Amino acid sequence: MGANMTSITEFTLLGFPLALRIQMLLFGIFSLFYAFTLLGNGLILGLIWLDSRLHTPMYFFLCHLAIVDIAYACNTVPQMLVNLLKPDQPISFAGCMTQTFLFLTFAVTECLLLVVMSYDRYVAICHPLRYPVIMSWRVCIMLVVTSWTFGVLLSLIHLMLLLPLPFCRSQKINHFFCEIMAVLKLVCADTHINEIVVLAGAISVLVGPFSSIVISYMCILCAILRIQSGDGQRKAFSTCSSHLCVVGLFYGTAIIMYVGPRYGNPKEQKKYLLLFHSLFNPMLNPLIYSLRNSEVKNALKRVLGA
């Protein structure tokens, strides 16, 4: 077993076993989506940086969400594009473990950032007079640092449990990147503890935070309905609806993949769900915030007008 473990130096990602013509078509489509992801999130970052009116806690958190989305896509999509062109192109053991660690880090961080953003909207709408005190810059920085730190620490736990395991089966990973559950299937030792830790981690960063977001928005909805001004209601709905769209897309697919019943979701189905999760979500987030948020659209007009 030890000899087999030390002999593993690389893996092969099976990706999507399709005809060559379809793979070339997917390469072109996914390359465009990848470019849109980088441009869209880069545009959000640029607008927040250039427009002083967006230097608020809400857009500070949105800025970090855009950074996470860029990093999220850069971690998985390039390797997927390479595999579409060269299906037999291997990925090194170190590269695979790094990709697993970074994917978990960015995924957990995004989960927590979405919770922080919902709390920010809750305070802004339900306690507007106390908002500057509660959401001070010190508190905002602390919340963002805590999100990143928790993401890194939880990913380190998964990595430390994964690295000592012996990989003595097939070196072919049935996925388009080194997703942790797909990698665990190549281990010839008992992975029961790893699977329990993955499930426990998924519940802690998905179910719990999602429940808190739902409760926050129930309170927000009640507060919005009490607003007398029509303009105030529209502005509140505008900012909250964009965040709710992002939350629904992100948590919906993630909960189905890692918390939902396994017998109801075949491997291939979960693979395509994760494709949506890692490719389309980062691309859609800036579109949602730019199309449904009047402040972002006005900032874009001011920047272009300048």
The CATH number given to whatever domain includes residue 192 is 1.20.1070.10
Strands (E), the chain: 10-13, 90-92, 172-173
Q: What's the pLDDT score for residue 262?
A: 56
- Flag whether 79 is in a domain: yes
Question: Which pLDDT score is estimated for 1?
Answer: 42
Asked if the structure places residue 37 within a domain, the reply is yes
1 inside domain: no
Answer for the pair 234, 293: CB distance below 8 angstroms, yes or no: no
Given a contact cutoff of 8 angstroms between Cβ atoms, the answer to whether 13 and 79 are in contact is: yes
- The total of structural domains in the chain comes to 1
Q: Are strands 10-13 and 90-92 parallel, antiparallel or unpaired?
A: antiparallel
The dihedral of CA 299, 296, 238, 112: what is its sign?
negative
Give a yes or no: residue 186 inside a domain. yes
- Contact (Cβ atoms closer than 8 angstroms) between residue 200 and residue 217: no
The answer to whether position 287 is within a domain reads yes
- Is 42 among the domain residues? yes
- Asked, for residue 4, whether it belongs to a domain, the answer is no
What's the confidence (pLDDT) of residue 30? Answer: 92
Classify each residue of 71-80 as buried b or exposed e, where b means 16 or more C-beta atoms within 10 Å of its C-beta. Answer: bbbbbbbebb
The amino acid at 9:
T
Q: What is the pLDDT of residue 54?
A: 87
Q: What is the pLDDT of residues 80-122, one digit of tens each?
A: 998 888 888 889 999 999 999 999 999 999 999 999 998 998 9
Q: For position 125, what pLDDT does the model report? A: 85
Residues of the chain with pLDDT under 50: 1-6, 263-265
Q: What is the pLDDT of residues 261-278, one digit of tens each?
A: 654 445 667 777 788 878
Is residue 132 in a domain? yes
The per-residue b/e assignment along 204-220, b for 16 or more CB within 10 angstroms, e otherwise, is ebbeebbeebeebbeeb
Model-level pTM? 0.88
- Domain around 138: 11-304
CA distance 82 to 225: 51
Residue 93 contacts residue 23 (beta carbons within 8 Å): no
